[in-house]
Structure formats: C-alpha cells, structure tokens
Amino acid sequence: MPEIAIIGGSGLYSAEELKNIEEVKVHTPYGKPSDNIIIGTFNGMKIAFLSRHGRGHQYPAHLVNYRANIWALKELGIKRILAASSCGSLKEELKPGDIVLLDQFIDRTAGRSSSFYEGSKTCHISVAEPFCPQLRSLIIAAGQKLNLPIKPAGTYICIQGPRFSTKAESNLFRKWGVDVVGMTLVPEAVLAREAEICYSNISLVTDYDCWKDSHVSIQEILKTMSANVENARKLLFSAIEALPAERSCECSTALKDALL
C-alpha cells in the first residue's frame, strides 16, 4: 500500500503522472471522504491522490469532510501528505503565479470539526510548528532546482468561506503581517498532525485578494490557476522523487504527551 499521498486543491483534481491506477473507496467513522482515493505508481513508488473538493468541485471549503479525508488516508497506511491549495496574496511582492511554502497559519474558521478526539480522551496536539520540517526542506530544494517562483516561508490565514474577504478584513490581515489568505488549510493540517502523518502545504497564489483589487474575478483566478497547476505538478513529483525511505522528523510521535 502507498505511504505517500497528494491532496489536490482547486484546479488540481487528478494526478496524470500516476500509472496503473485504481480507485479505492474508504469507509470512515466520519462519513464519506471528498472522493474515492486514486492509487497509482510513479517511478516505482505507490502514491495515493485525493481531490479535496471532489473531482467535480462539489464540496466548497466549509463543507469539506476533513476528518473523513485524513482518516481515510491514515487507514490506507499513509505516512506523508503533500497538499496543494490556491490562495490570495496579501503582499505586493507575492504575485499571482508565485508559490509559498507555508511555515505558519492563523485560524479564522468557525464550526469546523478539528479533532478526532471528542470522547473519553482529549488531545492537546502541538502545532507550534504546524508543518513537517523534512517535507518542507525537500519541497523547497525541489522548487529551487526547478527554478520555480517559490517563497520558502509564509503565514496563511484560513478564513471560513465560501465568501471572499471584505476589504476591511483583507487590510486587517495585512496589518497582522500575514502573507496569504485561503479557506482549506485548517483543520486539514491539524488533523494530519493528530494522525501522526507528515504534512506540508504548497500554496499557489492566484490573485491579490481585495486589498489591492476591489473585485476578485473568478475568471482571472481560474486563468492563473491553470498555469499554477502545471507548476504544482512539477514541484510535487520532483519532491516525491527526493523523499528518503525513512522519516527523520517527530511527526510520527506527535501524540506523545498530547492525550489526556
């Protein structure tokens, strides 16, 4: 079974690089995942692919069943997740088409189930450093090797959606020093940490949010997204090729001292 998974965000609904594919339906205690999980081979490695929003984009960010998605991948034996997502830039120097390798996030969502532990045990999982350092360093190195427009660190603010921000909100986030805004990182990253799965996010900038442009055009976003997806594919599979067999991080023991 595969130990590496890709979660594809808006625009990235399939992994054409995978060969000998099969679809797997996984039942979870939290209901259905966003889609069947695609399993295929790439350079001799088995890779799983899951479309976060479903292949028809039927689940907007606030309705994605994040717990079912991460549980399903854990059930399949996944130990590493490389996730891609679209985002808006909150800084002039971060242009549409750029790629941000996140190292921090701020959560502004509401009502999303963000833990697997809601019964007899409570989990105070540490997300002080929310992304796997080993995965991040490999993705950064792959991006530099490919000469992609990649920023090696950045803070993502996760909003509830599905609406975009008001201009007042967008300018507030800028005052906080946030780099990009999106709708899907939380609770996905937190649940992966609870599942002791290495997780890193590739954020693909599609627009400048409304602080710069009074109207965020879906048409322009889709146009930029199309170009972003090609870079995301190159980056994801280049990083996967470089992954060592063993994990050298602490993600696999994240639950140690976290459960009450």
Active-site option among 103, 209, 213, 257:
209
Residue (of 182, 179, 154) closest to 53 by Cα position: 182
Residue 207 is among the residues annotated as catalytic for this protein? yes
> Both tokens of residue 195?
């599942």
Which secondary-structure segment (H or E) carries 156? strand 155-159
Say which amino acid occupies 115. S
Under DSSP, is residue 80 helix (H, G, I), strand (E, B) or coil?
strand
Residue 200 contacts residue 135 (beta carbons within 8 Å): yes
Active-site option among 35, 107, 179, 207:
207
Compute the distance between CA of residue 51 and CA of residue 73 in angstroms, rounded to an integer: 12
Compute the distance between CA of residue 198 and CA of residue 135 in angstroms, rounded to an integer: 7
Which residue shows structure tokens 């692919």? Answer: 49
Active site residues: 207, 209
